């Protein structure tokens, strides 16, 4: 078992455009257990362990897919593999930034993490490693919650409020046990609980 670690430091956004992007520009390292997810930078011909990107899109994707990430188990008989990947693979939260192909698969009280090789032509970056690991769902929940809270704190320090990230996270945090059970049940079927009205 290996814990997922999102290790980041805020840095100067340089020429980045967009208030949320500029406020959350950072260097980011990802590791599972003691294994860093490294990559080849073909432009500099070097192996790197840290990415440079805005963290807001990633945090927003995690928040808007929260219930899927913890309750939707993969089911071959429902939907397509591509649709499941879009709700569970970190690279779909990149919005043009370089992020590894890391799939989060809930298995009850455990989460399976799987990372695969991927070449990003636009950035000339290549993730070459593959592997998988298991961790407790509570550990992943704590790590992702801390990540989202840090991004929100950074936004607030920059005077940015009322974002989609903030709205989604408030809904998740304020859900009582009945609403949480409802959201988990709906997400387990591959449906967005916030797009359905309760009857």
Q: What is the pLDDT of residues 7-17, one digit of tens each?
A: 999 999 988 88
The Cα–Cα gap between 109 and 149 comes to: 23
For 39, counting Cβ atoms within 10 Å of its Cβ (0-12 exposed, 13-18 middle, 19+ buried), the class is buried
Q: Determine the 3-state secondary structure of 10 from DSSP.
A: strand
86-110 CB burial, b ≥16 within 10 A, e <16: ebbbbbebbeebbbbbbbbbbeeee
Q: What is the pLDDT of residue 5?
A: 95
Say if residue 63's pLDDT is above 80: yes
Say if residue 181's pLDDT is above 60: yes
Is-above-0.85 flag for pTM?
Answer: yes
């Amino acid at each position: 078992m290996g814990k997922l670690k999102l290790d980041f430091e805020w840095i100067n956004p340089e020429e980045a455009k967009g208030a949320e992007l500029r406020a959350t520009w950072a260097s980011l390292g990802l590791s599972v257990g003691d294994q860093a997810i490294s990559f080849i930078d073909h432009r500099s011909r070097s192996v790197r362990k840290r990415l440079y990107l805005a963290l807001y899109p990633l945090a927003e994707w995690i928040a808007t897919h929260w219930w899927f990430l913890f309750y939707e188990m993969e089911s071959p008989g429902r939907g397509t593999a591509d649709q499941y990947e879009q709700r569970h693979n970190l690279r779909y939260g990149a919005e043009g930034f370089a992020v590894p192909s890391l799939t989060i698969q809930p298995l009850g009280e455990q989460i399976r993490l799987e990372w695969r090789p991927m070449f990003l032509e636009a950035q000339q970056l290549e993730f070459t490693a593959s592997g998988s690991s298991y961790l407790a769902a509570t550990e992943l929940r704590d790590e992702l919650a801390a990540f989202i809270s840090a991004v929100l704190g950074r936004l607030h320090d920059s005077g940015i409020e009322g974002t989609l990230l903030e709205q989604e996270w408030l809904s998740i945090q304020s859900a009582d046990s009945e609403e949480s059970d409802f959201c988990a049940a709906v997400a387990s079927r591959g449906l967005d609980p916030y797009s359905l009205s309760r009857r």
